A and B are shown apart, each in its own frame.
Chain A
Amino acid sequence: MKKLLSIALATSMALSLAACGAPASSTASSTAPAADSASSTASSAPAESAEPVTIKVFSNLPDRTTGQGLVEQTIFDSYMAANPNVTIECEELDDAAYKTKFKAYAAGSQMPDLVSVWGQPGFIDEVIDAGLLAELNPDDYKDYGFVNGSLDGFSADGKLYGLARNTDMAAFFYNAKIFEDNGWAVPTTYDELLALADKAKAAGVAAVSMDGADKWPLAVYLTDLMEKVDATGVMTKNHDAITGKDFSDPTYTKACELLQQATTAGLFQPGYETADYGTAKNLFTNGQAAMFYMGSWEMSMASSEDIPEDIRNNIKVFTMPTVEGGKGTATDISAWNGGGYSVTASGAQKEEAIKLLNYMFQPDQWTRIAWENGVCMSAQDFSKFATGSETQTQKDLMNIFAAATNLSGTPLNDMGTSQFKTVCEDSVQELAIGKIDAAAFLDKLTTVG
């Protein structure tokens, strides 16, 4: 009996003390590459030694079969093919979960070697301050064709800590067929845009499909309006307002009022404040909304087989129209460089990770593959990969970007701390639904800023 008891006890002890297993990280699997990357392997880092190397990557792109996740995976696969001694282990989570686990990694002693980062003060400032990121050599990227200013968000005190992945642009994707069928013209002024609200209602569709539940698209919309009200230096203005806790500049009040005008006019679909990203996008891709306000990364809608042909072939783009009395012209647009990559200072394979990063951003890698597959606009010069066979959506976005005279920079919600981001996004939603007015909104920003 005693023997039996001690066996049972030993088992229970072993179970209770068993350490948790390491989180399962998916080893880079070979998905079908989106583009032929053979041409680029010639310039890749050659296999210097046969010693096996495992680079751990932590990415915010969980979907490895479409979009940016596929581009990333394609590059990893081609790098591993060119460097047989290298194994890339990639762990992927979506943005919210990613940021939480990033903090957990940061609290531990060793981080993955290559990580996704956001070149915005709300995320990167404290990461750089804590000394978590390895310094990169700017000279390595002289010939990489990074768009002027795109690496600013990833730099601090003149040192470079990361590379920007994309150039993001806020835009109205519109269904040209709905516009044509109803005889609507693309709005050139904000009033014309607001007038579409009633016209759309009469036509039985929503005017603009808006992802209001996630809140940040509303903050981007607000920044977009600021750009139209006060063209230059929106990012500096935001930075100064947040650090100085002073949002008294009339641009803010004006932009807030314009946002409320849109919601009062019924520009967004009913219940937009509870519609999440997928719901808002579906409304547009099912032809139930004439427009969809989102970032340029949604250019991939035009090449997505999941979207009915008569809709995906009719997606065109325009940017926020000019506002009455505003200084911004049609070519002053809301664009910024958000996501990117950094190498961690504490990673076990720092040098190898830098080699991989440099490989990823050779112009014929991320930029070419992303553009050729209609996924997104990189933060590098992508125009040289234009073949003329792009989708109409891609062409529109490329033309808008090429003609841009001024870019807004990071949206307001991403300019402060994480706390500022939460408060700003919560409040901008309250502002949009008319629960608070412009003064109360700015008051909240002042308190937290």
Chain B
Amino acid sequence: MKKAYSNKAIIFSLVFPGILVFIFAILAPICLSVYYGFTNFSGIGSYDMIGFKNYIELFKDEAFQVSLRNSFLLAVGFICIQHPLAIITAAVLDKLGRHAEGFFRCVYFLPNVISVAVIAYLWKFIYNPSFGLLNNIIKLFGGKGDFNWLGSGSAIWSVLVVLIWHGFGWGMLIYYTGIKNIDPSLYEAAAIDGATNRTTFLRITLPLMRPVIQVNVTLAIISALKQMETVYLLTNGGPGNETQFMANYLYKQAFSSFRYGYGNAISVIFIIVCILATQVLNRVFKQDEGVAA
């Protein structure tokens, strides 16, 4: 076995398919995107090189700014609402034990198992102003119950609720696995020392969960920036462009307006934003580690 791994031909043949896939499925499309970002290609026929015109237009484009803002808003929602709740839920689940633990773990994870299309339509019906569940509940409690949840002004918040709710189970499951990996003897020692649940959570669970939190938050921010399918099916960015998100806007420009050049320019900015966000997060976590050490 060792001999096989030291053979250069074998090493090459092991690595080659991976590199090939990377070059043709990731690197080449990115390079093509950069190239087309400088053109006015519509998807059909000839095109011209137009320099940075797409990028200049992009920075003036209100809808793009809204979509960028919404993507960051979602990322903040994930970090400030979804993840604290997910950690606490995971910690509580861990303490439940027996059947209840398994039952609630399944219940919380359920939205992740259901197809995005079903989720989107489910919420469309819940939010429906005429016969939706939400308005009917409000009516039950004596309210007027005619609020248009996906209408102008409230749409973005309604969409954020769905997205935060939908991703909750996934985050919770990762935190739950992280907590399960913490050595139980630490909790036993803390209990002997008379530590309360709160102290145990803050002094043992949270510090030992640092790497899990780091991975989970990075994943959450990337998924916030990449958000597309739920929004596409729920509002398609409407009304107007109020609930527009970066990936959805990219799709709309490239495949509805048939501005491939412009769409590619958005994708280039999109990649840069994603890389920047990851870098910033890595720095933040590294600094934290420094402080903690």
A324 within 8 A of B: no
- Beta-carbon contact of A5 and B148 below 8 Å: no
Contacts of A127 in B (CB 8 A): 44
Contacts of A188 in B (CB 8 A): none
- Beta-carbon contact of B44 and A126 below 8 Å: yes
Identify which of residues 226-242 in chain B touch chain A, using a CB-to-CB cut-off of 8 Å: 235-236, 238-241
Beyond contacts A9-B14, A16-B20, A273-B151: 15 other A-B pairs, Cβ-Cβ < 8 A, are A9-B10, A96-B255, A99-B255, A100-B255, A106-B43, A106-B44, A126-B44, A129-B45, A213-B236, A215-B238, A270-B129, A418-B256, A426-B240, A430-B240, A433-B240
Most chain B CB within a 10 A radius of its CB, from A16, A127, A421, A423: A16
A274 to B146, CA, bound (A): 14
- Beta-carbon contact of A270 and B130 below 8 Å: yes
Contacts of A132 in B (CB 8 A): 44
- Beta-carbon contact of A2 and B17 below 8 Å: no
Minimum C-beta distance from A203 to chain B (A): 15
Q: Which residue of chain A is the closest to B251 with respect to CB atoms?
A: A100
- Beta-carbon contact of B4 and A274 below 8 Å: no
- Beta-carbon contact of A429 and B4 below 8 Å: no
A269 within 8 A of B: yes
**Could you give 11 example pairs across A and B, Cβ below 8 Å?**
A5-B4, A100-B255, A129-B45, A270-B129, A273-B152, A274-B124, A274-B150, A274-B235, A419-B258, A426-B240, A430-B240
Binding site of B, secondary structure by majority: helix, strand, loop or mixed? loop
- Beta-carbon contact of B240 and A269 below 8 Å: no
A213 to B240, CA, bound (A): 10
Encoded as 1 (CB less than 8 Å from any A CB) or 0, chain B from 175 to 191 comes to 00000000000000000
A84 within 8 A of B: no
B1 within 8 A of A: yes
Which residues of A approach B to under 8 Å, CB–CB? 1-2, 5, 9, 12-13, 16-17, 96, 99-100, 103, 106-107, 126-127, 129-130, 132, 206, 213, 215, 269-271, 273-274, 279, 283, 288, 417-419, 421-423, 426-427, 429-430, 433, 435
Minimum C-beta distance from B29 to chain A (A): 15
- Beta-carbon contact of A126 and B42 below 8 Å: yes
Encoded as 1 (CB less than 8 Å from any A CB) or 0, chain B from 25 to 42 comes to 000000000000000001
Most chain B CB within a 10 A radius of its CB, from A126, A273, A430: A273
B128 within 8 A of A: yes
Identify which of residues 39-97 in chain B touch chain A, using a CB-to-CB cut-off of 8 Å: 42-45, 63
Cβ 8 A contact of A269, one of B130, B257, B259: B130
A2 to B13, CA, bound (A): 13
Identify which of residues 105-129 in chain B touch chain A, using a CB-to-CB cut-off of 8 Å: 124, 127-129
- Beta-carbon contact of A130 and B128 below 8 Å: no
- Beta-carbon contact of A429 and B239 below 8 Å: yes
A418 to B262, CA, bound (A): 13
Contacts of A429 in B (CB 8 A): 238-240
Contacts of B17 in A (CB 8 A): 12-13, 16-17
Residues of B in contact, count (CB < 8 Å): 38
- Beta-carbon contact of A103 and B4 below 8 Å: no
- Beta-carbon contact of A270 and B146 below 8 Å: yes
- Beta-carbon contact of B150 and A96 below 8 Å: no
A433 with B257, Cβ < 8 A, contacts A107-B43, A132-B44, A426-B240 known: no
Most chain A CB within a 10 A radius of its CB, from B4, B43, B235, B255: B43
Most chain B CB within a 10 A radius of its CB, from A129, A132, A270, A427: A270
Q: Which residue of chain B is the closest to A288 with respect to CB atoms?
A: B130
A417 to B256, CA, bound (A): 11
Most chain A CB within a 10 A radius of its CB, from B16, B148, B259: B148
A288 to B128, CA, bound (A): 14
Q: Which residue of chain B is the closest to A430 with respect to CB atoms?
A: B240
Contacts of B45 in A (CB 8 A): 126, 129-130
Cβ 8 A contact of A274, one of B238, B241, B252, B258: B238
- Beta-carbon contact of A103 and B43 below 8 Å: yes
Minimum C-beta distance from B247 to chain A (A): 15
B21 within 8 A of A: yes
A328 to B120, CA, bound (A): 43
Q: Which residue of chain B is the closest to A422 with respect to CB atoms?
A: B257
A13 to B240, CA, bound (A): 48
Minimum C-beta distance from B159 to chain A (A): 11
A131 to B238, CA, bound (A): 35
Cβ 8 A contact of A273, one of B21, B239, B256: B239
- Beta-carbon contact of A213 and B238 below 8 Å: yes
A422 to B155, CA, bound (A): 20
Contacts of B20 in A (CB 8 A): 16-17
Identify which of residues 164-216 in chain B touch chain A, using a CB-to-CB cut-off of 8 Å: none
- Beta-carbon contact of A422 and B252 below 8 Å: yes
Minimum C-beta distance from A269 to chain B (A): 7
- Beta-carbon contact of B44 and A271 below 8 Å: no
Q: Which residue of chain B is the closest to A105 with respect to CB atoms?
A: B44
- Beta-carbon contact of A16 and B21 below 8 Å: yes
- Beta-carbon contact of A419 and B257 below 8 Å: yes
The 5 closest A-B pairs by CB, nearest first: A271-B129, A130-B45, A418-B258, A103-B43, A430-B240
- Beta-carbon contact of B152 and A283 below 8 Å: no
Minimum C-beta distance from A316 to chain B (A): 24
Q: Which residue of chain B is the closest to A448 with respect to CB atoms?
A: B257
A435 to B137, CA, bound (A): 29
Minimum C-beta distance from A162 to chain B (A): 16
Q: Which residue of chain A is the closest to B20 with respect to CB atoms?
A: A16
Minimum C-beta distance from B236 to chain A (A): 7
Q: Which residue of chain B is the closest to A126 with respect to CB atoms?
A: B44
Contacts of A103 in B (CB 8 A): 43-44, 255, 258
